[in-house]
Structure 1
Amino acid sequence: MHAVFLDADTLGNWKGQSGQPAVDLSPLANCFTEFDAYGLTDPEQVIERSQNADVIITNKVVLNREALEQLPNLKAIQLAATGMNNIDLDAAKELNIQCFNVADYSTFAVAQLTIQFMLNFATRACEHYQLTAKGAWQKSRMFTLTDFPIMELEGKTLVLVGYGNIGQKVEQLAQAFGMKVLVANIPGRPMRDNQVALGEALPEADFVSLHCPLTDVTQGLVDESFLQQMKSTAYIINTARGPVINEADLADGLKNKVIAGAGLDVLSVEPPSPDNPLLANDIPNLAITPHIAWASHEAKQRLIQGMADNMNKLNNS
């Protein structure tokens, strides 16, 4: 069976370059008699590179109906991810192409960055490090330098919007810090016993952390109205999907001190456009990381093994 991996560079160092841990693709490659890996693939290269493939492996390369109809040998698509929004699933079903993803490979990694955002807002460690790097501590008139307010997470309230594997892991870690955790009901969904209404939860929150999927209901969920329901001392964290937040509204909310700050690992378009309102120079108390929450070395290897498990099942079916 012949497989092509169209964007292996999204997993990092798979070629064995020095300076970072190497990602081992061999568990996946060994599932096939022929395995071709490409760093990245432009849209106009998809058909040429996939023409003879039985299996396409992709993270972010879009496989629409037009492309799938030109690949008569294709039997399966394996996502190097959990989300499958870059595949036309209806077309794949009509063309009898099986589609696979890998769930729960990055749960701890995403939860870890979520807690890191909260810890940094609590300790302002990054800002104090920068003061030391710039020589401010060296010039201090006493032993300490606390130019930014420091607080403790213990006793603070965390509101989770989304309560899948990642949300539950964040809850577990937050409770280890002595935090109170509320699970908010997503509007339009049935209320569960462990949930409270979003409108009741937001005014209680010291931190709001988003772990919900991107749907018609959740797109733009965090807007001006959402932010106005939060305390001015509260923070919002997004390690889910960028479009869950109305970015213009969040930028305005931060500038106008509607909330205290935000930690984001995702934006609506990635890589972001320079004119994204959240990238303006005058946005206070905003920490943005470049979609790294999923990307621990351990998570990448779990992802590769998960893809290999799927392909072994395909081979044996």
Structure 2
Amino acid sequence: MKVVFLDAATLPQALAFDDGLGIDYHPYDTTSPAEVGERIAGATVVITNKIRLDGGPLRAARGLRLVAVAAAGTDNIDVEAAEALGIRVQNVPDYGSESVAEHAIATLFALRREIVTYAAAARDGRWTASRHFCWTGPRIRDLGGSRFGIVGRGRIGEAAARLARGVGMTVHFAQTPGTACKDDELPLDDILSQSDAITLHVPLTPGTKGLINAESLARMKPDAVLINTGRGALVDPAALADALRSGSIAGAAIDVLEVEPPAPGHPLIDSNVPNLLLTPHVAWASDRAQARLATRLQELVTQQARLS
């Protein structure tokens, strides 16, 4: 059984399969759109993280039975075409919930307590030049007692809520459109206007694209911070850069962008954007999360091998 991993370099932990299963495994570091058709030809299983699989290549891969997505979403797969062709599409939705939630809370600590600024001050001469035992600069704000707004009530949102409550934050989820508001939920506009920190954990859909834009940023409190570990296109990057430069919000921690890697000149990689903690899409990538993802992918391939 031929198994192809189109962008295996996105998962640092290598996959391994039982020799007795007869799996012919072909991992490629990455695959260009022009190479997709040739590489999946004759494959029974294709594994992909971010490489797109449209209807054309799927129809041409006549022996394909399973597309395993090495991620929590399936937005890079033409799922309708796959279903019509009898190709199963299987993602791994729960491998990194704790890792992403911990990253969100870690960056929230960093922003609220100005850890990056104070760590720099300890080395760049500001502490040495202080007349006192410490150097104090930007305001340091506790997490305990603050209000945490979570947009998205899936596994990651619930994990982030549990961690936030553990440090004494008051947690509210954004109300899901079209449903009754629960006791711990508020309409999105109220989440924006009342929260000291807002974190995004919703999937990217036509309704959520650009969810955080100039108008929604203007509703936030001037001392509030925004965290996005969901999908890059949930946030308008130019509007966020403008809000940070103008001081209309206090800070942001962004782990995902609408195009990755970002091209030179992207609004959020400009060094002049203040109070921005930008990380290169690594919230998911703890050792334990990588191991869970690798294990689940191996299980999916093994199940298919036993069916074939």
Q: Indicate whether the TM-score tops 0.5.
A: yes
Does the residue aligned with 1:116 lie in a helix, a strand or coil?
A: helix
Deviations 1:280-317 (A, max 9, x none): 33321111100000011110110111122223333344
Instruction: Calculate the TM-score normalised by the size of structure 2.
Output: 0.94
Does the residue aligned with 1:49 lie in a helix, a strand or coil?
A: helix
Query: 1:40 is matched with which residue?
Result: 30
TM-aligned CA deviation for residue 105 of structure 1? 0.4
Equivalent residues in 2 for 1:64-83 (5 A)?
64-83=54-73
Deviations 1:231-285 (A, max 9, x none): 1110111000011111222122112211111110011111112222222333211
Query: 2:147 is matched with which residue?
Result: 157
Deviations 1:65-91 (A, max 9, x none): 121122112121111111111111111
Aligned with residue 144 of structure 1, among 122, 130, 134: 134
Query: 2:170 is matched with which residue?
Result: 180
TM-aligned CA deviation for residue 39 of structure 1? 1.1
Unmatched segments (≥5 aa) in structure 1: 13-22
Contact 1:28 1:307 in 2 (8 A): no
Equivalent residues in 2 for 1:188-227 (5 A)?
188-193=177-182, 194-227=184-217
Contact 1:28 1:305 in 2 (8 A): no
Query: 2:291 is matched with which residue?
Result: 301
* CA 1:28–1:250: 2 relative to 1, 3 Å: farther
Once residues 29 and 5 of structure 1 are traced to their aligned partners in structure 2, the CA distance between those partners, rounded to angstroms, is 17
Amino acid in the other structure paired with 1:290:
P
Q: Are 1:60 and 2:80 counterparts? A: no
* CA 1:316–1:203: 2 relative to 1, 3 Å: same
Query: 2:158 is matched with which residue?
Result: 168
Query: 1:87 is matched with which residue?
Result: 77
Unmatched segments (≥5 aa) in structure 2: none
Amino acid in the other structure paired with 1:277:
P
Q: Are 1:235 and 2:219 counterparts? A: no
TM-aligned CA deviation for residue 145 of structure 1? 1.3
Query: 1:106 is matched with which residue?
Result: 96
CA RMSD for the aligned pairs? 1.7
Amino acid in the other structure paired with 2:194:
E
Contact 1:31 1:311 in 2 (8 A): no
Contact 2:100 2:156 in 1 (8 A): yes
* CA 1:163–1:257: 2 relative to 1, 3 Å: same
* CA 1:27–1:102: 2 relative to 1, 3 Å: farther
Query: 1:20 is matched with which residue?
Result: none
Does the residue aligned with 1:217 lie in a helix, a strand or coil?
A: coil
Does the residue aligned with 1:277 lie in a helix, a strand or coil?
A: coil
Once residues 19 and 195 of structure 2 are traced to their aligned partners in structure 1, the CA distance between those partners, rounded to angstroms, is 46
Query: 2:262 is matched with which residue?
Result: 272
Amino acid in the other structure paired with 1:281:
S
Amino acid in the other structure paired with 2:303:
K
Q: Are 1:285 and 2:275 counterparts? A: yes
Does the residue aligned with 1:138 lie in a helix, a strand or coil?
A: coil
TM-aligned CA deviation for residue 27 of structure 1? 5.0
* CA 1:218–1:102: 2 relative to 1, 3 Å: same
Once residues 270 and 232 of structure 1 are traced to their aligned partners in structure 2, the CA distance between those partners, rounded to angstroms, is 29
Once residues 127 and 41 of structure 2 are traced to their aligned partners in structure 1, the CA distance between those partners, rounded to angstroms, is 61
* CA 1:209–1:304: 2 relative to 1, 3 Å: same
Percent of aligned pairs with the same amino acid: 37
How many residues matched? 306
Contact 1:163 1:183 in 2 (8 A): yes
Contact 2:252 2:276 in 1 (8 A): yes
* CA 1:177–1:316: 2 relative to 1, 3 Å: same
Contact 2:203 2:231 in 1 (8 A): yes
Once residues 34 and 228 of structure 2 are traced to their aligned partners in structure 1, the CA distance between those partners, rounded to angstroms, is 33
Query: 1:17 is matched with which residue?
Result: none
TM-aligned CA deviation for residue 173 of structure 1? 0.5
Once residues 30 and 242 of structure 1 are traced to their aligned partners in structure 2, the CA distance between those partners, rounded to angstroms, is 42
Once residues 69 and 241 of structure 1 are traced to their aligned partners in structure 2, the CA distance between those partners, rounded to angstroms, is 28
Amino acid in the other structure paired with 2:138:
F
Contact 1:10 1:59 in 2 (8 A): yes
Amino acid in the other structure paired with 2:231:
R
Q: Are 1:128 and 2:154 counterparts? A: no
Instruction: Calculate the TM-score normalised by the size of structure 1.
Output: 0.91
Amino acid in the other structure paired with 1:238:
N
TM-aligned CA deviation for residue 203 of structure 1? 1.9
Amino acid in the other structure paired with 1:131:
A
Amino acid in the other structure paired with 1:8:
A
Query: 2:9 is matched with which residue?
Result: 9
TM-aligned CA deviation for residue 110 of structure 1? 0.2
Once residues 277 and 212 of structure 2 are traced to their aligned partners in structure 1, the CA distance between those partners, rounded to angstroms, is 17
